[in-house]
Structure 1
Amino acid sequence: MRFKRIIALIISVMLIISMTACDFGTGKGSVYWLNFKPELDATLRSLADKYKEEKGVPVKIETPASGEYLQSLREQMKSEDPPSLFVINNQDAADEWKEAALDLSGTGIQDELNTSSYNFKTEENKLVAIPYCLECFGIAVNPDLLARMGFKVDDIKNFDSLKKVVETIHQNASWLGFDAFCSPDLDSGSSWRLTGHLANLEYYYEEQDSGSWKESPASITGAYLPNYKNLYDLCINNAVSAPETLAEGGHNPTEEFTSGKAAFFLTGSWDYATLSEKIPNVTMIPYYCGVKGEEKAGLNSGSENFWAVNAAVSEADQKATLDFMKWLVTDETASKAMVDQIGNMPYKNAAKSENGFLAKQNEYISNGNYRMDWLMLHQPNPATYRSELVTALSAYNADRTDANWDKVKEAFVGNWAKLYAEANNKVTIPTEGKMK
């Protein structure tokens, strides 16, 4: 009997060990999100704690510094502990990571989408990435500061009227105690406002002339670069900081705006929560730049934030990641926290947006104004393209001559064709100072 009891005990121990090993190998998995949006970091960390408490699944959040995401992603994807969830922000990134990304077709998170218009797919119809927020950007305005000079936001209907208000404020800045524009810095933390977002106005109007960009064009003409220059010059020449100081940056445009040091700010819906806390009636106007018919312009709308799931992590981590994504867009508390921070999530069961800038965009659309698509997502090799544009703009800021603006034009137009050709293994031939 004693021998039998010993055998039974051994069998029981072996069963426990076997079950434990099985459970360890097929556990709930974990989530590691390499986050693209610095302003979302605190919210995500809080939600990660909440998710672990509710579901027992650990969620790791890492957020690279602004401007360093792509480099960090490339390093992390080669590490022993790569992210299970990462962000794709344009067509180039979708092409670069299409093999590494899990096909999201037929997943629960795809079923929650309320639009498929923004999805990134391969030619083979593999669903590489889906948007997790839709945003808009334009020129934020403090109506109270305008009123101190006798202006109303409704007085601004095109570039000429914007120019009048901006220059009047700047000319009187010394006694007003505030200037027109926040500092449009060209450092890594802010240059995207000028080399990406502001540049979008040129791409948008050029696309309207040439037809819809289904994919990145091999070259651009720069036909609306003079309009970009109109608004760019207006910003740098009527700002809190002098043009010569913008290359090094280090100013704080968000603080300048919220503290009442400037009436206008190039930003978007992601900043609404922060700005409205100090300026409850803050609003937004389009990028008026002197284009014919711009009285019917709306805001720039789109996304550069698309979820992709790492196909190389374990199936348990993939499932945990997909479950976490679905929770973020369906859980009432979680989705509200996300929406309050980023503005809007394109999912059927996500919390409704209370973002004033997005509401303003909807108002423009309701009034028959056109929406400016995010075509800066087509920039070839965006990191290099924008870096070289920063170099040219910095030289122009320091010495605003026609010759220096020609260098901006080359960086804006010529480099597009050059970088596109390099990415697509095509030869470029310089012709009359342009890359064809």
Structure 2
Amino acid sequence: MKKKLAVLGLAATMMMSLFAGCGGKGTSGGKDASADKGSVYYLNFKPEADAQWQELAKIYEEETGVKVTVVTAASGQYETTLKSEMGKSECPTLFQVNGPVGLASWKDYCADLSDTEVYKQLTSEDFALKDGDKVAGIGYVIESYGIICNKKLLAEAGYSMDDIKNFADLKKVAEDITARRDELGFDAFTSAGMDGSSDWRYKTHLANLPVYYEYQADGINNTKAIKGTYLDNYRQIWDLYINNSTTDPKQLSVKTGDDAVAEFVAGKAVFYQNGTWAYSDISSVGDENLGMLPIYIGVDGEENQGLCTGTENYWCVNAKASEADIKATEDFMAWLATDDTALKAICGSQGAMPSGADGMGFVTPFKKNLESDNLLVNIASQYVADGKTPVSWNFTTMPSETWKNEVGSALTVYASDQTDANWDLVKKAFVEGWATESQAAGN
């Protein structure tokens, strides 16, 4: 999932200007839209899946005669792009929010999907995003992330995945590999790049762990004021990543997501934090050599922890679109949830597209979800089958993209000079920043 959906709260005046920009009913959709059939304009959140969505749009259009336009936002620019597109006369009819915080900004644009076929196809109500009694969004992909492992390299270092059951084990193995890096010819971790193509793995995905454990301890699922109970744990896993990797910590600000992929594929590191969506990037390592570990941060009982599993991808239909375009969009969503070709493209990996290209490799929450050929997806499922408790995705409750960026900046400063004073900057961004951004968003 290369991703991150920004969830900045919008001022009322901006929202009013967006309402005006869409121009009311009948103005959305492509210029070639049929007045009878309507049309679909999908603003896609996932840059890595652009080619697949373009191909599916073409197939659907050929089958039904309904125009489907797919526009893909650049990585990290979804919210900005969505605001811009919603201000145009031809607005997206299908867009995404990342969860409750994102919904708060766009709920007035979300049509009620409670009577739609795609809603009926959900296997659980947990994948419906509600605004009171209204079904405002439909989760369409379930993903997992953790620490992807090159088992072949791990074995060369004298270990197996069975040797790593908690943070202490991971630290022992990583530091031993670092001590013998010249002898072994590889490092423990790939670069923890803080370039925009990579920093979401740490300011959002890794930051989910201390949020998750605080919520668990306090018996809550969101908060306006995070306490930072587990920030010492956040520090020790961050320290482990940056001090046992392919890259000098002072160079992380310019390291990219592509750098980390290249390092892992080239066998320069054993461990690589990412998710099931990254399978096609690293599949050349070979299924027999790939494994996946939970992200351990040193919390009691983490031996029973599974991978971080959830969704931040909810489809929403633009309530400001014309009735014809709303109907066309709902029909397109139903096709995606039920059609074998569409589901193979969404759930399949290698060669799953009708063109022979790789599919998206997702797991869907729909009744007709196909068994995945994505090894990482199946590993995630095995953790659940083994009785491990998945770590829920609580980063959808993070108050804003500004909060994430400030945490990321503080992490970068700390990486270059690992003092207690600089870690205090991380804690300040995490705790005080959370309260400030929650208040600014009106949460």
Fold equivalence (TM over 0.5)? yes
Distance 1:134 1:342 in 2: 10
2:100 is aligned, of 91, 95, 102, to: 91
Contact 1:44 1:61 in 2 (8 A): yes
Contact 1:135 1:342 in 2 (8 A): no
Matched ranges for 1:147-162 at <5 A:
147-162=155-170
Distance 1:157 1:25 in 2: 58
- Runs of 4+ aligned residues of structure 1 deviating over 4 Å after TM superposition are none
Distance 2:293 2:34 in 1: 54
Matched with 1:185 is: 193
Per-residue deviation, residues 240-280 of structure 1 (Å, max 9, x unmatched)? 11111111223621122122121111101111233224331
Per-residue deviation, residues 183-208 of structure 1 (Å, max 9, x unmatched)? 11111111110011101110111111
Matched with 2:260 is: 253
Matched with 1:76 is: 85
What is the DSSP-based 3-state SS (H/G/I as helix, E as strand, rest coil) of the residue aligned with 1:99? helix
What is the DSSP-based 3-state SS (H/G/I as helix, E as strand, rest coil) of the residue aligned with 1:97? helix
- 1:46 CA drift (Å): 1.1
Matched with 1:29 is: 38
Distance 1:401 1:371 in 2: 33
Matched with 2:272 is: 265
Matched with 2:110 is: 101
Matched with 2:177 is: 169
What is the DSSP-based 3-state SS (H/G/I as helix, E as strand, rest coil) of the residue aligned with 2:253? coil
Matched ranges for 1:273-312 at <5 A:
273-281=280-288, 282-312=290-320
Segment drifting more, 167-176 vs 67-76: 167-176
Percent identity between matched residues is: 43
- Matching residue's letter, 1:29: G
- 1:424 CA drift (Å): 2.1
Distance 1:338 1:368 in 2: 27
- 1:44 CA drift (Å): 0.7
Would you say 1:40 and 2:45 are equivalent positions?
no
- Matching residue's letter, 1:239: S
Contact 2:147 2:272 in 1 (8 A): yes
Alignment coverage as a number of residue pairs: 399
1:313 is aligned, of 317, 321, 325, to: 321
Distance 2:183 2:50 in 1: 39
Distance 1:50 1:169 in 2: 49
- Matching residue's letter, 1:257: F
Matched with 1:363 is: 382
- 1:176 CA drift (Å): 2.6
- TM-score (norm: length of structure 1): 0.88
Matched ranges for 1:59-70 at <5 A:
59-70=68-79
Would you say 1:111 and 2:120 are equivalent positions?
yes
Contact 1:40 1:342 in 2 (8 A): no
Distance 1:37 1:259 in 2: 25
Question: Larger C-alpha radius of gyration, 1 or 2?
Answer: 1
Matched with 2:247 is: 241
What is the DSSP-based 3-state SS (H/G/I as helix, E as strand, rest coil) of the residue aligned with 2:309? strand
Contact 2:287 2:375 in 1 (8 A): no
- 1:25 CA drift (Å): 6.4
1:410 is aligned, of 428, 434, 442, to: 428
- Matching residue's letter, 1:65: A
Would you say 1:194 and 2:206 are equivalent positions?
no
What is the DSSP-based 3-state SS (H/G/I as helix, E as strand, rest coil) of the residue aligned with 2:273? strand
Contact 1:332 1:350 in 2 (8 A): no
- Matching residue's letter, 1:324: F
Would you say 1:347 and 2:354 are equivalent positions?
no
Contact 1:299 1:361 in 2 (8 A): yes
1:141 is aligned, of 115, 137, 149, to: 149
- TM-score (norm: length of structure 2): 0.87
What is the DSSP-based 3-state SS (H/G/I as helix, E as strand, rest coil) of the residue aligned with 2:270? strand
- 1:393 CA drift (Å): 1.0
5+ residue gaps, structure 2, are 1-32, 349-359
1:398 is aligned, of 393, 416, 419, to: 416
Distance 1:357 1:207 in 2: 27
- Matching residue's letter, 2:276: S
Contact 2:119 2:128 in 1 (8 A): no
Matched with 1:385 is: 403
Distance 1:330 1:256 in 2: 38
Contact 2:140 2:365 in 1 (8 A): yes
What is the DSSP-based 3-state SS (H/G/I as helix, E as strand, rest coil) of the residue aligned with 1:139? strand
Segment drifting more, 132-141 vs 364-373: 364-373
Distance 1:159 1:142 in 2: 18
Matched with 1:429 is: none
Query: What's the C-alpha RMSD, in Å, of the aligned pairs?
Result: 1.6
Matched ranges for 1:409-428 at <5 A:
409-424=427-442
